[in-house]
């Protein structure tokens, strides 16, 4: 009987011990295997991302970003629009004026609290404005056809032509004044890059073609008025350039 | 006849002892197997742990290399974030250019335009004057003739025709354009 009891106790101890010891060991092993799988996946993702990033032509991407910023800016391009329009009109020898700009708020809308409209940084925003150019009819048409390929990106909404030629002089070229309503677009740049493990999307062939069209836009340099501000050193006579005595 | 009951009892006892020995052997073998299993699983766990540490090291290395290319990444993200909207705007612009081409292709030389309005749906209203009837016929003929490769004129109508003080013919027409074919 005693032997039987000992045997039973040995079996029970074996079962209990296997439950007590095996449970945690298997649990830990399972956990480590899951972590291993996750790390492997992360490593493969990072390897791919590094390959993609190393494959990007740095010079080309710099040029594209600069051109994109000129053509499809991240901030309201009020100065750039006025500069481009006046330069384009001057290039064609047209008079330029009658600007009716509706720029809205000059402050960045995203910063305004409770403004749900602009919470998403990737939202496409626009400003509308009107202006007048004057000159002969064919030049105005050339101006109109070039306007949509001038940076920043603009869309002609409405064109009204007024004939200004004096009917008494038949030989005179048809002088017109074109009232043009235009909408320009801009879109804020993304604020966050995302986690380092997040994959980088490559550009498709179609997207590459779209980006190549960026270089077909005419750029005019916008000149901003520069005024000296702050305190000037009244006692600076250029002596700092002299050698120390 | 003598009956020996002791033999049977002895046999039973021996059998029982044999079974007990076998049972003990099974228990001991079971213990050994369990111990082996635990040792094996623990060793496997250690190997996986080491592999995880190795992976973590490699991941840190890759992350450092990626961090050095962060500028390129941010530029790529910037372009991708803008390209969708930009492509849409270019398509709209192409549509506009087709409208302009279609309109200017129907206007004969000598026509003076006074009013020209285009809306999003491709509906255009044109008003102006032509110096003579043949020019007006030419304008109407061009409107009727389909223009290949540009926005097609789906419908057109004359709203007004009158003479002005300069003996010119004033007109006001509307055109409905279709953008079915894409180049």
Q: How far apart are CA A68 and CA A78, in angstroms?
A: 16
| Whether pLDDT at A42 is above 80 | yes
Identify the H or E element spanning B135: helix B133-144
Residue A167 burial by CB count (10 A; 0-12/13-18/19+): exposed, middle or buried?
A: exposed
Query: Does A72 sit within 8 Å of B70, measured CB to CB?
Result: no
Lowest average pLDDT, out of A96-110, A222-236, B96-110, B116-130, goes to A222-236
Of A29, A42, A189, the CB nearest to B78: A189
Tokens describing residue A245:
């005595």
CA-wise closest residue to A98 among A127, A132, A144, A129: A132
What residue in B sits closest to A42 (Cα-Cα)? B59
- Rounded to a whole number of angstroms, the distance from the CA of A241 to the nearest CA of chain B is 38
Domain boundaries, chain A: 1-55, 74-103+120-188
| Whether pLDDT at A157 is above 90 | no
Q: What mean pLDDT comes out for the span B83-111?
A: 80
What residue in A sits closest to B113 (Cα-Cα)? A161
What local confidence, expressed as pLDDT, does residue B142 receive? 82
| Whether pLDDT at B151 is above 60 | yes
Lowest average pLDDT, out of A115-124, A174-183, B48-57, goes to A115-124
CB A194 within 8 A of CB A185: no
A93: left (phi over 0), alpha (psi -120 to 50) or beta: left
**8-state DSSP, B166:** T
Q: How far apart are CA A57 and CA B107, in angstroms?
A: 48
CB A32 within 8 A of CB B45: yes
| Whether pLDDT at B157 is above 70 | yes
Mutate to test the interface with A, among B14, B41, B71, B83 (most CBs of A within 10 A): B83
Q: How far apart are CA A103 and CA A79, in angstroms?
A: 11
Of B34, B65, B73, the CB nearest to A14: B34
**pTM value surpassing 0.80:** no
- At residue B96, the 3 state secondary structure works out as helix
Instruction: Tell me which chain B residues have a C-beta less than 8 angstroms from the C-beta of A26.
Output: 41
* Residue carrying the six token digits 């295997």: A33
Of B45, B66, B112, the CB nearest to A46: B66
Q: What mean pLDDT comes out for the span B88-111?
A: 78
| Whether pLDDT at A109 is above 50 | no
A30 confidence band (pLDDT: 50, 70, 90): very high
What local confidence, expressed as pLDDT, does residue A111 receive? 44
Question: pLDDT digits over B116-127, tens only?
Answer: 676 666 678 888
Q: What are phi and psi of A155, to 5 degrees?
A: -125, 130
Query: Does B27 sit within 8 Å of A187, measured CB to CB?
Result: no
Question: pLDDT digits over B36-65, tens only?
Answer: 988 999 899 999 999 999 999 999 999 999
| Whether pLDDT at B95 is above 70 | yes
- Find the largest Cα–Cα distance for chain B: 160
The answer to ipTM > 0.95 is no
More confidently predicted of A165 and A131: A131
Strand order, beta sheet including B152-163: A95-102, A124-136, A175-187, A154-163, B112-118, B123-130, B169-178, B152-163
Q: What mean pLDDT comes out for the span B60-89?
A: 90
CA neighbours within 13 Å on the CB side: how many for A5?
2
Tokens describing residue A202:
């490559």
CATH number of the A74-103+120-188 domain: 3.30.70.60
Q: How far apart are CA B115 and CA A147, in angstroms?
A: 19
């Amino acid at each position: 009987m005693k032997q039987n009891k000992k045997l039973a106790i040995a079996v029970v101890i074996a079962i209990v011990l296997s439950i007590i010891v095996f449970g945690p060991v298997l649990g830990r092993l399972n956990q480590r295997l899951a972590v291993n799988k996750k790390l492997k996946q992360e490593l493969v993702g990072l390897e791919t991302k590094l390959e993609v990033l190393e494959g990007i032509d740095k010079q080309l991407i710099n040029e594209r970003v600069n051109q994109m910023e000129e053509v499809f800016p991240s901030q309201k391009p009020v100065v750039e629009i006025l500069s481009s329009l006046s330069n384009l009109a001057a290039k064609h020898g047209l008079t330029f004026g009658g600007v009716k700009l509706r720029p809205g708020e000059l402050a960045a809308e995203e910063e305004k609290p409770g403004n749900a409209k602009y919470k998403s940084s990737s939202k496409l925003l626009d400003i509308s404005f009107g202006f007048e150019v004057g000159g002969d009819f064919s030049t105005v048409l050339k101006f109109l056809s070039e306007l949509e390929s001038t940076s920043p990106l603009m869309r002609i909404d409405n064109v009204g032509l007024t004939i200004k030629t004096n009917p008494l002089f038949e030989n005179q070229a048809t002088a017109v004044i074109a009232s043009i309503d235009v909408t320009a677009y801009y879109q804020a740049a993304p604020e966050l890059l995302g986690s380092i493990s997040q994959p980088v999307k490559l550009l498709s062939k179609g997207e590459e073609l779209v980006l190549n069209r960026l270089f077909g836009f005419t750029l005019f340099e916008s000149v901003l008025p520069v005024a000296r501000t702050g305190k000037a050193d009244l006692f600076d006579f250029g002596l700092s350039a002299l050698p120390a005595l | 006849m003598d009956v020996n009951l002791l033999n049977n009892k002895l046999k039973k006892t021996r059998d029982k002892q044999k079974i007990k020995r076998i049972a003990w052997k099974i228990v001991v073998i079971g213990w050994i197997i369990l111990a082996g299993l635990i040792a094996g699983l623990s060793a496997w766990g250690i190997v996986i742990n080491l592999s995880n540490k190795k992976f973590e090291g490699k991941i840190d290395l890759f992350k450092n290399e990626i961090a050095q290319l962060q500028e390129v990444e941010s530029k790529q993200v910037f372009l991708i974030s803008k390209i969708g909207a930009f492509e849409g705007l270019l398509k709209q612009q192409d549509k506009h250019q087709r409208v302009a081409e279609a309109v200017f292709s129907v206007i004969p030389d000598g026509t003076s335009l006074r009013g020209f309005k285009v809306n999003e749906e491709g509906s255009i209203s044109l008003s102006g004057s032509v110096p003579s009837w043949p020019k007006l016929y030419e304008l109407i003929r061009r409107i009727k003739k389909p223009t290949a490769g540009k926005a097609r004129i789906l419908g057109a109508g004359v709203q007004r025709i009158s003479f002005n003080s300069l003996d010119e013919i004033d007109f006001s027409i509307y055109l409905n354009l279709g953008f079915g074919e894409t180049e």
